[in-house]
Structure 1
Amino acid sequence: MVGQTGFVTRPKLALICGVSGALQFTVGVASAETVVAINLDRSAPIFESADYCVAQDLFKVLPPLIKELRNSK
């Protein structure tokens, strides 16, 4: 539970999938260098704080993304 428990993360990349973006969560990942949010709801609050927003079904977006990342090693 990022944010709500006081846990703050500082990754280079935060890939946020299917999260609406409650204030506590948003604060918890605000220190990430880059935030990418995937959510079907174009009005999800997480999109206001994300660097990159993908308004698509995460189950359609993630498999090709994972495949591409694995192939790029």
Structure 2
Amino acid sequence: MSGYVAVVRQRDDGGYTSWSPDLPGCTAAGDTFEECVRLMREAVSFHLDSLRQKGLSTPPPTAVAAVVIQAPSELFSEP
């Protein structure tokens, strides 16, 4: 079984937002990480169902490797 990549990012207000690079326009947001992931799963399902109902093809998931790039914390501090 293949799956779509979802990027989840914490917002400045403490909530979370998510989007899928494979499914433009497919987004979700939640107050917690878990809520955001749950809503993103629902959004992906809804998005794919909508494409099928319109007779459009569904894009294949992109093969991805997760990589975390470490950088010195001072690069992230405000001037």
- The alignment's TM-score, normalised by the length of structure 2, stands at 0.27
Larger Rg: 2
- The alignment's TM-score, normalised by the length of structure 1, stands at 0.29
